[in-house]
Amino acid sequence: MNALDQLKRYTVVVADTGDFNAMRAYTPRDATTNPTLILKAVQKPEYRGLLVETVARHADEGPAAITDRLLVRFGTEILSIVPGRVSTEVDARLSFDEEGTVARAHALIALYREAGVPIERVLVKIAATWEGIRAAERLENEGIHCNLTLLFSFPQAVACADAGVTLISPFVGRIYDWYRKRDNRDFQGDEDPGVLSVRRIYDYFKRFGYPTEVMGASFRNVGQIISLAGCDLLTISPELLEQLSAGDARIERRLDPAHARGQSIERVRFDEKHFRFELNEDAMASDKLAEGIRAFVADARRLDELVVAARSMPA
């Protein structure tokens, strides 16, 4: 078996893309999207029609509402390809607005229901701020499943698990980027700070029996993926899926729930004050969370601009 097929023996493979063709090529179970990926997709000629058609059908609505419809349109197309779930992101401009996040999540789910999609196949993607976690807790209590993203630290992960969140997406590559820049050195395998962060979270969740799924995300190289074989899920870009598919490196399980359950790990809790303090103490996590929100906000604004511009495009 190639490396990708070997990986699938231990881990659910998720496509990290808005490109339908890439999803068909690598047969992932689930797919994740974000504003950046959707922005890239709608600027490609093969997806222009989705943008123009969505805008034309709902021309009387505001840009934000049409953008949500576009995200859901991509989501429904993705669900016709993958057998599992799709993650659709709440506008990052609501990252510090609990009520706004809940309302926007309800709007996205309503659009999916309108399209005939069971809510069990949708993960609402929310930034792992304190407000985002509290919003996700409320949504989960309503039966709306959430994927907490932009997650860079152990306190974020624990707070998500205690809130009953369905899935978290710790960002391996962005953690790696920060330490690589600070220390002016590369990291390989078991010394990679991003890999170590996910392993710590995974072991903690399995040790204490949390049902929250851990999905490693934001990979920079195949080595990081191989080092996390056995993680519940890994969301992988088409470029790295291609490398895995073309490779024949031997993949062995590196994360194991039975091993995690046997470890001596201290249980911790984070109230709001403790959460905010610990996040602030972690320069990498606080830097990357703020940077990630800013980047997603910028792309959300660009999507709105494309929606406005598409009003004048011929259908």
* Non-local CB neighbours of 193 within 8 Å, separated by 6+ positions: 175, 176, 178, 179, 187, 284
The predicted-structure confidence for 283-296, as pLDDT tens digits, reads as follows 999 999 999 999 99
Q: Which pair of tokens denotes residue 307?
A: 């929606």
What sign results for the dihedral spanned by CA atoms 36, 41, 44, 50? negative
Domain membership flag for residue 253: yes
Domain membership flag for residue 266: yes
Domain membership flag for residue 236: yes
Domain span at 227:
3-310
The yes-or-no answer on residue 125 being catalytic is: yes
Predicted TM-score (pTM) above 0.85 = yes
Q: What is the mean pLDDT of residues 25-31?
A: 94
> From the candidates 8, 125, 206, 288, which is the catalytic residue?
125
Domain membership flag for residue 146: yes
Q: Which residue has the higher pLDDT, 287 or 42?
A: 287
The predicted-structure confidence for 98-118, as pLDDT tens digits, reads as follows 999 999 999 999 999 999 999
Does pLDDT of 301 surpass 70? yes
The predicted-structure confidence for 196-206, as pLDDT tens digits, reads as follows 999 999 999 99
pLDDT confidence of residue 43: 87
User: Domain of 38: which CATH number?
Assistant: 3.20.20.70
Domain membership flag for residue 159: yes
CA 294, chain centre distance (Å): 16
Domain membership flag for residue 130: yes
Number of separate domains in the chain: 1
Does pLDDT of 312 surpass 80? no
Q: What is the mean pLDDT of residues 20-48?
A: 88
pLDDT band at 237 (very low <50, low <70, confident <90, very high): very high
Domain membership flag for residue 315: no
pLDDT confidence of residue 314: 61
Coil, strand or helix: which one is 9?
coil
pLDDT confidence of residue 313: 67
